[in-house]
């Protein structure tokens, strides 16, 4: 509708549509087959040629990051909001971790990729840490300051720990939310 409003991006409409299709396709394929799924599969799902994938996302990490960028941003924002709105720092932490877990759990395979030591995913890894670690740190610090959270756990331990708890296939006998809850309980400052 606003395509004509500006002047610059004309043909871009197509490209943007494709990029978008690619992101959707990749998201779907990632869920189904993991973040290491063949590039061809993604291209096929998006209805484009492989060349198009490479044009838009030169490396796999670029694609993965792009696929999850929105949600990572949302997750980061959620952390700030939780801090403002929750009744207590610990409650804020719990809420944020909830959002984080939702994210990881619905994006199956992502948690694994985040923990992967494959250099291919370094960029992804870096992006997550860059974006989320500061948030985690702030929440942790607030909790510690309020005497609600133990002071010997770092944000990286928190996030990688929670991330690890989210890895693996869905299973009736394993309730991610529950084990994360246990972990969070373990994060409470011990009564003096």
Residues that bind DNA (CB under 7 A): 8, 10-15, 17-19, 36-40, 47-52, 54-56, 59-60
Per CB under 8 A, residues contacting a second copy are 112, 115-117, 150, 152-154, 156-157, 160-161, 164-169, 171, 173-175, 178-179, 181-187, 191
54 interacts with, out of a second copy, DNA, none, CB within 5 to 8 A per kind? DNA
| 60-77 burial code (b ≥16 CB/10 A, e <16) | bbebbbbbbeebbeebbe
Cβ 184 to a second copy shortest distance, Å:
7
Cβ 57 to DNA shortest distance, Å:
10
Question: Long-range CB contacts (< 8 A, 24+ apart) of 27-30?
Answer: 27/67, 27/107, 30/64, 30/67, 30/107, 30/108, 30/109, 30/110
By beta-carbon proximity to a second copy, the closer residue of 24 and 168 is 168
Cβ 50 to a second copy shortest distance, Å:
13
Cβ 107 to DNA shortest distance, Å:
18
60 interacts with, out of DNA, a second copy, none, CB within 5 to 8 A per kind? DNA
Asked if 155 and 97 touch (Cβ cutoff 8 Å), the reply is no
CA distance 116 to 134: 21
12 interacts with, out of DNA, a second copy, none, CB within 5 to 8 A per kind? DNA
98 interacts with, out of a second copy, DNA, none, CB within 5 to 8 A per kind? none
Cβ 37 to DNA shortest distance, Å:
7
**Residue 106 structure tokens:** 């619905």
Asked if 95 and 20 touch (Cβ cutoff 8 Å), the reply is no
CA distance 45 to 29: 8
160 interacts with, out of a second copy, DNA, none, CB within 5 to 8 A per kind? a second copy
By beta-carbon proximity to a second copy, the closer residue of 23 and 111 is 111
């Amino acid at each position: 509708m606003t395509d004509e409003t500006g002047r610059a991006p004309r043909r871009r409409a197509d490209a943007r549509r494709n990029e978008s299709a690619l992101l959707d396709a990749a998201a779907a394929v990632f869920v189904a087959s993991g973040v290491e799924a063949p590039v061809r599969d993604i291209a096929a799902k998006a209805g484009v040629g492989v060349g198009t994938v490479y044009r838009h996302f030169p490396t796999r990490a670029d694609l993965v990051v792009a696929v999850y960028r929105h949600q990572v941003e949302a997750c980061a924002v959620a952390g700030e909001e939780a801090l403002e709105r929750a009744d207590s720092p610990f409650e804020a932490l719990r809420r944020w971790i909830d959002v984080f877990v939702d994210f990881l759990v619905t994006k199956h395979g992502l948690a694994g990729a985040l923990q992967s030591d494959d250099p291919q995913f370094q960029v992804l890894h870096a992006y997550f840490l860059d974006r989320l670690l500061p948030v985690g740190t702030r929440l942790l610090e607030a909790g510690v300051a309020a005497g609600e959270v133990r002071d010997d756990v770092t944000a990286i331990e928190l996030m990688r720990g929670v991330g690890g708890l989210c890895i693996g296939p869905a299973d009736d006998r394993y309730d991610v939310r529950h084990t994360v809850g246990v972990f969070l309980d373990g994060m409470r400052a011990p009564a003096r």
